[in-house]
Structure 1
C-alpha cells in the first residue's frame, strides 16, 4: 500500500463511483478497479460493498477512510509547507464550511483575497458542522466555518457578529400570529418544528424559559432539506436569517423570533497549536479585517 493507492481510494469515495474517479484521475476504469482489488487483498479486508451503483463502504472501509483522511492531510500539509519555503505565498487553501455561512461569507472574501494573492487557489468542502470539524481534526482542511457552539479548548477561533434565528414556514399556512415579519417564541408552542441538532439543547432551553416544551418532529442539520420540508408544510424550520438570501421562494415566508430574540454565531475555527500554512494565516488576517469593518 502506498500514497497512490490512498489517493485512488479517496477519489472513489469523493466521486461516489469508480467511473467518475477514473475521469478525475485520468486513469482507465479497469485499472482503478484492479488497484482497489489488490489493495483489499493486501489489507486482508473488503473495503467496498459490491453490487451497488454508488460506492458504499463496509465497516472496514469506513475505518480505512478515517485513516486515509488523516494521512493524506498530513502529506498534503507537509507538501504545502515545503513549497512555501522556496516559492513564497502560494499553494491551495483548504476550507470547510456549513452551507449558509459559506454562501454568505466566502464569495466576497475569496474575491478580495484572490486580488491580493492571485497565485493561491482554493479547495472548498461543504457539510454540516460535525463533518467540518471531522475534516479539520483529520487535517484535510486548515480552516473551518461553522456555527456556534464549539469547543474552545480544541479550536482557536474568530467569532463573527450575532445573526438572528428565524422560522421558515409555508406561506399559505402562516398561522403563527398576525405580525408578518416577527413571531414570538411562545407562539411556536404546539407547532411542528424542524430543528438543527447543534441548536436543539439551546432551543429547548429557550422554550422552557418561555413556559412550554417544543413539538420537535425532526432533528436535522441539513438546512436546505429542512427548508424543503417547510415548503411542503411538514413543519416549521429553525434556520439562520442568511437562509433567506440563500433560498428565496414565494411559497415560503420567514419570521424573526422575538420575545426573546434568539441568535446564532458564525465561527471561523482552526485546530489549536497546529501549524498553519502561510496562505491560511494571510486568509485569516483578511477575515479578521473584514469582520471588524
Structure 2
C-alpha cells in the first residue's frame, strides 16, 4: 500500500465512478483500475461494490476511505509545514474557532495581525469546543480558540486570554439568578449542566448546539437568551446576570507534541503580547 494508491482510491470513492476518477486524475482507466485491484489483493478483501452506474464502499472500504483522507491531509499539511520552515511569515495557519468566538477573534486579534502579515493565509476549522480540541490532538489544526470548561488533557497546552461574565438577552431589565427560574430560557447546550445546578426550576424553552442560534431565537422574543459578554453585548437588550459569579474563559489551545508552523507561532506570540 502506498500514497499513490490511497490517493487514487480516495478519488474513486469521491467521484463515484472509475471513469470520472480517471478524468480527475488525468490518467487512463486501465492503470487506475489496476491500482485498485492491487490494493484489494494486498488487503485481501473487496473495497468497492461495482454497480452499473457507480461504485460504493464496502464496510472495510469505508474505513479505508476515511483513513486515506486523514493520511492525504497529513501529507499535504507536512508539505505546507516544510514550506513554512523556509518562509517564516508566509504559509497557512490552520486555526479552529468555536462559533461563539468568531467575531471576538477577528476583532481582537486577526484584524491587526492580518495587516502585519498580509502574506499569511488561513484554513479555518469551525466546530464546538470538543471538536476543536480533537482536531488539535489529531494534527488537523495547529491552534484552537475555545471556551471553558473542558476536561484537562496532559497532551494539550492552554493559554487563558480573557474571562467574561454571563448576560441575558431579550429581557427589559437586569435579572437575578432567582428570576431566571421564572422565564423561558434559550441556552447553549454546553452551559446547560451548569445552570441545572444553579437554578431550582429552570424552564428551558430552547437548548441549542450553536450559540448563534440562541441569539437568533432570543432576538425574536421567544425567550431569554444566556450568553457570555462578547456575544451578548452586541444586542441592545443585553444585561449582566445579577449575583452570578460564573465566568466563561476564552482559551488558546495547542498540542504539546505536534508541529507548530512559524506563521502559527507568530500568531501565538502576537496574542500573548496583547
TM-score by length of 2: 0.73
Task: State the superposition RMSD in angstroms.
Answer: 3.8
Q: Secondary structure at the match of 1:141?
A: coil
1:213 aligns with 2:195: no
Q: Secondary structure at the match of 1:89?
A: coil
Q: Quick check: 1:189–1:213 contact (8 Å CA) kept in 2?
A: yes
Partner of 1:22: none
Q: Quick check: 2:136–2:255 contact (8 Å CA) kept in 1?
A: yes
Q: Quick check: 2:168–2:232 contact (8 Å CA) kept in 1?
A: no
Q: Secondary structure at the match of 1:203?
A: helix
The structure whose Rg is larger is 2
Q: Quick check: 1:70–1:139 contact (8 Å CA) kept in 2?
A: no
Partner of 1:70: 70
Partner of 1:276: 260
Structure 1: how far apart are the matches of 2:268 and 2:149? 20
The Cα of 1:110 is off from its aligned counterpart by: 2.3
1:44 aligns with 2:47: yes
Q: Secondary structure at the match of 2:260?
A: coil
Structure 2: how far apart are the matches of 1:275 and 1:141? 10
Cα pair distance change 1:62/1:111, threshold 3 Å:
farther
Structure 2: how far apart are the matches of 1:274 and 1:289? 23
Q: Secondary structure at the match of 1:258?
A: coil
Cα pair distance change 1:7/1:86, threshold 3 Å:
farther
- Aligned counterparts, 1:1-293, within 5 A: 1-3=5-7, 6=10, 31=23, 44=47, 67-68=67-68, 70-150=70-150, 151-169=152-170, 174=171, 180-207=172-199, 212-244=200-232, 248=235, 253-290=237-274
Partner of 1:177: none
TM-score by length of 1: 0.69
Instruction: Flag structure 1 segments of 5+ consecutive residues without an equivalent.
Output: 13-17, 19-27, 51-56, 175-179
Cα deviation per residue 1:261-281 (whole Å; 9 max; x = unaligned)?
A: 432111111123222112111
The Cα of 1:239 is off from its aligned counterpart by: 1.3
Q: Quick check: 1:194–1:217 contact (8 Å CA) kept in 2?
A: yes
Instruction: Flag structure 2 segments of 5+ consecutive residues without an equivalent.
Output: 41-45
* Superposition misfits of 4+ residues, deviation over 6 angstroms: 57-62
Structure 2: how far apart are the matches of 1:62 and 1:189? 48
Cα deviation per residue 1:213-240 (whole Å; 9 max; x = unaligned)?
A: 3222433221121222223443322212
Structure 1: how far apart are the matches of 2:189 and 2:227? 12
How many pairs align? 249
